[in-house]
Chains A and B, each alone.
Chain A
């Protein structure tokens, strides 16, 4: 009997781990792309927020209009919004050479403000939070014990782990685009001298990154919750920034980092229910504390890209 309880507990934790890790994988892979090109995109928190809102709003409207693929319309709208913000980030930090901390935080503030404003415009001040029928989990493993409950996940979760991460690795280390990207982030002068268009590569990296960040945010509103609320992102963008450093700018390590964070989050949720005599806030803080510790240990001699934070200007 006791064994069965523990098995249920474990299955629950594992399933939640994959679910919690999914938006972090999308966002941190997006951030890996941008940072490898030498641009720190602190707009990540805002772009995730905007992605969650725009995705939800577009899906809700499309749903009202009776369109069948309303969730996909929402996802497409979220990607578009992420790309627009990435372009703005590019204009500020790449073209105009504005300090990346300032422009990134500016993007985050702007994105959050726009989303909140947009929410009022679209949904008014309703007393009940609007909701939609979200993406469902795909029952690939059906009712098979253990495997089913753990691995029956959302499509965006499968894509994140099985397509996004391997593809990011391949792009980075096995494609000429990835070589240019790494060179631009390490030594833009060298890349420029070799005939690589530094600005173009940085814009592309920002656009890819912005799209992925927005998908990470939209996963929460379109799949996990089917709703949008001001606390929806709750610092996941900042956690992704930390994960990227923890991962030493490697997509596969970023995935492991996201899983670690996911596991601790899943664990704390269930620990709360076990009746420890601690305020629940302490449990909530646990994943963030673990992030800080992991960062302090793994990030100490982090091999930052050589041109990190530096706008490129030909002499």
Chain B
């Protein structure tokens, strides 16, 4: 790479940002050269997003200085940032769903009172062509896929003449093919002189697309390195502060008995539209069956059906020999099914204490003559806190716990009953590396114990590491079941709805 003599696109010096007692950014320095793709790498909570939200005017720094192309600037709001040529695509897309693509793109960037929609559509189309982004300007955003919505977000920034583009974990919601398309688009933007900040915690993507990497840990810069001169292992060490071990799955094979049987299960989503269509899955004792798929393809609804909180409109479910079709949560639990739902905050009662939450699913066991036996609840909680290394006291309100500790409480509550079937959804979303490893370790232990585990996750790495078999869901249907050593391309095709020749579930399980 040739060194540019022009001033850096962005220079941030000594940035400090506190949220109450927490320091999210502690004297962070960050330099983005013109025309480079620069990764901000770090774990959840390392301060990557905070730093970029400061640059985009969404947060105001407590200290520090920002220069754009050498000029010191103060950025009060996204409007200022846009005026300085900075665009940001956040994880939660800032789009108004009932509006069209063109309307969303020109919003807040119109000239004159009259809105010339045909002209706006044409301009949007021109911008899209220039950067090789395919999108229909007249489509309504609510009808677009997540990947397409992301393109609209990028287009929004480009339409506003951004020459610095910030992408916050852009690949988290994409299929491998969509990731490749995104990368092609980024290279094209780079070739036209744009600078890109790529926020991520995925090492292989950072290695694939970026020129330089700045690693953040606990709000501080650990270092900035050239991508060509580093390795994934070095980046991981910088990111975590210690070597990572990963979780290894013992080489035992599942037993023959099917503990969880779904036959042609169907369900509707909250809008009353079909979300799960004829899903047939058999999970055997000692097996982790991973359910992969892009967010919003019916995984959530399927999990809810299995947890007994959503009506099953077709087919049947047998767990452990009990028919649990539309049986309700109580009977589902009685059938030996342990449930670790997707949203931690919905599976605990935030205002209750740790001990109360731990007893919640089996209050009968802690009741004497209609009165709760607080001593036993407490003793039980102390025992689980010890066994699962939870950093909390029995009487702490559960809302004060970190995500990792809250997830441990839920794990403890479910696993202490040795469920023969476990339904677990997005178990490590938002957790740091340590907590993630812990959760994975526990799931592997349960597999060894002989539980049948259905693991629903949008984290492909998690699915591929833990699963014995991987089922891929697309628009409510199972596209195929593949071994975990499948190549990423096949997996990506399945995730985008391309069915491949695959023996049906019942012959495989027979």
Q: Which residues of A contact B (CB under 8 A)?
A: 174-180, 182-183, 186-187, 189-196, 303, 306, 314-315
Task: Identify which of B79, B104, B115 contacts A195 (C-beta below 8 A).
Answer: B79
CB neighbours (8 Å) of A179 from chain B are: 99, 103, 106-107, 110, 115
CB neighbours (8 Å) of B88 from chain A are: 193
B96 is an interface residue with CB less than 8 A from chain A: yes
Q: Shortest distance in angstroms between B236's beta carbon and chain A's nearest beta carbon? A: 30
Given contacts A194-B156, A195-B79, contact A176 B95 (CB under 8 A): no
Q: In the assembly, what is the distance between CA of A179 and CA of B108, in Å?
A: 9
Q: In the assembly, what is the distance between CA of A163 and CA of B214, in Å?
A: 59
**B108 nearest CB neighbor, chain A only:** A194
Q: Which residues of B contact A (CB under 8 A)?
A: 58, 77-79, 82, 88, 90, 92-99, 103-104, 106-110, 112-115, 117, 156
Q: In the assembly, what is the distance between CA of A273 and CA of B115, in Å?
A: 51
Question: Quick check: B108 and A187 within 8 Å, CB to CB?
Answer: no
CB neighbours (8 Å) of A176 from chain B are: 106, 110, 112-115
**B105 nearest CB neighbor, chain A only:** A194
Q: List 15 A–B pairs whose Cβ atoms lie within 8 Å, in order of A's numbering.
A: A176-B113, A179-B107, A182-B98, A183-B103, A189-B92, A190-B96, A190-B107, A194-B78, A194-B94, A195-B79, A195-B82, A195-B108, A303-B98, A306-B97, A314-B58
Q: In the assembly, what is the distance between CA of A180 and CA of B110, in Å?
A: 10
Q: In the assembly, what is the distance between CA of A174 and CA of B112, in Å?
A: 11
CB neighbours (8 Å) of A191 from chain B are: 96, 107-108
Q: In the assembly, what is the distance between CA of A186 and CA of B108, in Å?
A: 14
Question: Quick check: A306 and B108 within 8 Å, CB to CB?
Answer: no
Q: Shortest distance in angstroms between B84's beta carbon and chain A's nearest beta carbon? A: 12
Given contacts A175-B114, A196-B108, contact A186 B98 (CB under 8 A): yes
CB neighbours (8 Å) of A189 from chain B are: 92, 94
CB neighbours (8 Å) of A183 from chain B are: 96, 99, 103-104, 107-108
**A314 nearest CB neighbor, chain B only:** B58
Q: Shortest distance in angstroms between A77's beta carbon and chain B's nearest beta carbon? A: 29
Number of residue pairs across A and B with beta carbons under 8 Å? 78
Q: Shortest distance in angstroms between B52's beta carbon and chain A's nearest beta carbon? A: 13
Given contacts A176-B113, A177-B113, A178-B115, contact A186 B58 (CB under 8 A): no
CB neighbours (8 Å) of A192 from chain B are: 78, 94
Which are the 5 A-B pairs with shortest beta-carbon distances? Answer: A194-B108, A190-B94, A176-B110, A195-B79, A186-B96
Question: Quick check: A182 and B99 within 8 Å, CB to CB?
Answer: yes
Q: Shortest distance in angstroms between A61's beta carbon and chain B's nearest beta carbon? A: 37
CB neighbours (8 Å) of B115 from chain A are: 174-176, 178-179
CB neighbours (8 Å) of A178 from chain B are: 115
- Describe B's contact surface by its main secondary structure: loop
Given contacts A186-B99, A194-B156, A195-B78, contact A180 B108 (CB under 8 A): yes
Q: Shortest distance in angstroms between A176's beta carbon and chain B's nearest beta carbon? A: 4
Q: In the assembly, what is the distance between CA of A306 and CA of B95, in Å?
A: 11
Q: In the assembly, what is the distance between CA of A174 and CA of B97, in Å?
A: 18
CB neighbours (8 Å) of B113 from chain A are: 175-177
**A178 nearest CB neighbor, chain B only:** B115
CB neighbours (8 Å) of A190 from chain B are: 93-96, 104, 107
Question: Quick check: A182 and B108 within 8 Å, CB to CB?
Answer: no
CB neighbours (8 Å) of A177 from chain B are: 113
Q: In the assembly, what is the distance between CA of A187 and CA of B92, in Å?
A: 12
Q: Shortest distance in angstroms between A221's beta carbon and chain B's nearest beta carbon? A: 34
CB neighbours (8 Å) of B58 from chain A are: 193, 314-315
Question: Quick check: A187 and B79 within 8 Å, CB to CB?
Answer: no
Question: Quick check: A193 and B90 within 8 Å, CB to CB?
Answer: yes
Q: In the assembly, what is the distance between CA of A191 and CA of B94, in Å?
A: 8
Given contacts A175-B115, A182-B99, A189-B94, contact A194 B110 (CB under 8 A): no
Q: Shortest distance in angstroms between B77's beta carbon and chain A's nearest beta carbon? A: 8
Given contacts A183-B96, A190-B96, A193-B90, contact A174 B114 (CB under 8 A): yes
Q: In the assembly, what is the distance between CA of A177 and CA of B92, in Å?
A: 25
CB neighbours (8 Å) of B77 from chain A are: 195
CB neighbours (8 Å) of B78 from chain A are: 192-195
**A303 nearest CB neighbor, chain B only:** B98
CB neighbours (8 Å) of B96 from chain A are: 182-183, 186-187, 190-191, 306
CB neighbours (8 Å) of B79 from chain A are: 195
Q: In the assembly, what is the distance between CA of A152 and CA of B93, in Å?
A: 52
Q: Shortest distance in angstroms between A169's beta carbon and chain B's nearest beta carbon? A: 13
Question: Quick check: A193 and B99 within 8 Å, CB to CB?
Answer: no
Q: Shortest distance in angstroms between A33's beta carbon and chain B's nearest beta carbon? A: 16
Chain B CB within 10 Å, residue with most, of A178, A191, A194, A303: A194
Q: In the assembly, what is the distance between CA of A182 and CA of B78, in Å?
A: 19
CB neighbours (8 Å) of B117 from chain A are: 174
Q: Shortest distance in angstroms between A116's beta carbon and chain B's nearest beta carbon? A: 41
Q: In the assembly, what is the distance between CA of A189 and CA of B97, in Å?
A: 12
**B83 nearest CB neighbor, chain A only:** A195
CB neighbours (8 Å) of B110 from chain A are: 176, 179
Chain A CB within 10 Å, residue with most, of B107, B112, B115: B107
Q: In the assembly, what is the distance between CA of A282 and CA of B437, in Å?
A: 70
Q: In the assembly, what is the distance between CA of A130 and CA of B282, in Å?
A: 82
Question: Quick check: B107 and A196 within 8 Å, CB to CB?
Answer: yes
CB neighbours (8 Å) of B93 from chain A are: 190
**B92 nearest CB neighbor, chain A only:** A189
CB neighbours (8 Å) of B103 from chain A are: 179, 182-183
Question: Quick check: B107 and A186 within 8 Å, CB to CB?
Answer: no
Q: In the assembly, what is the distance between CA of A97 and CA of B79, in Å?
A: 23
Q: In the assembly, what is the distance between CA of A76 and CA of B117, in Å?
A: 35
Question: Quick check: B114 and A193 within 8 Å, CB to CB?
Answer: no
* 11 additional contacts (CB under 8 A) given A191-B107, A195-B77, A195-B109: A175-B114, A176-B113, A179-B107, A187-B97, A190-B93, A191-B96, A193-B78, A195-B78, A195-B82, A196-B108, A306-B98
CB neighbours (8 Å) of B114 from chain A are: 174-176
CB neighbours (8 Å) of A174 from chain B are: 114-115, 117
Question: Quick check: B98 and A194 within 8 Å, CB to CB?
Answer: no
Q: In the assembly, what is the distance between CA of A314 and CA of B108, in Å?
A: 17
Q: Shortest distance in angstroms between B394's beta carbon and chain A's nearest beta carbon? A: 32
Q: In the assembly, what is the distance between CA of A177 and CA of B108, in Å?
A: 9
CB neighbours (8 Å) of A182 from chain B are: 96, 98-99, 103
Q: In the assembly, what is the distance between CA of A177 and CA of B117, in Å?
A: 13
Q: Shortest distance in angstroms between B180's beta carbon and chain A's nearest beta carbon? A: 27
